[in-house]
């Protein structure tokens, strides 16, 4: 249980750090990449069976993350300070 609490606190700190460095419209889709990581851990680490529909959903999410990652942020650091 302690490891779970520590993981949640670390996740919160990392997510808040990410949100302070980048635009919200960029940071939130990028954090969606965790769905792919979680699925891979389930398949390879826990030997779970994942349906084709689940893989298709993960693929769509990761495709969206790639698209968002290739776009330029609209705000600059100078505008954010105003």
Output the tens digit of pLDDT for each of the chain's 82 residues.
899 899 999 988 988 888 888 777 777 777 788 888 889 999 999 999 999 999 999 999 889 888 877 777 666 655 555 4
Query: What is the pLDDT at residue 49?
Result: 93
Nearest CA-CA partner of 72 in 34, 16, 22: 22
Query: What is the pLDDT at residue 26?
Result: 73
Contacts 24+ apart (CB under 8 A), 65-69: 65/29, 65/30, 65/32, 65/33, 68/25, 68/26, 68/29, 68/30, 69/26, 69/30
**23 is in which domain, residue-wise?**
2-81
Query: What is the pLDDT at residue 76?
Result: 62
Our count of domains for the chain comes to 1
Query: What is the pLDDT at residue 51?
Result: 93
Judge whether 56 and 36 are in contact, CB under 8 Å: no
């Amino acid at each position: 249980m302690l490891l779970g609490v520590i993981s949640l606190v670390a996740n919160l700190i990392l997510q808040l750090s990410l949100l302070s460095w980048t635009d919200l419209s960029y940071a939130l889709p990028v954090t969606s990449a965790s769905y792919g990581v979680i699925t891979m851990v389930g398949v390879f680490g826990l030997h779970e069976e994942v349906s084709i529909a689940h893989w298709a959903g993960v693929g769509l999410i990761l495709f969206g993350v790639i698209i968002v990652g290739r776009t330029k942020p609209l705000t600059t650091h100078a505008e954010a300070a105003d």
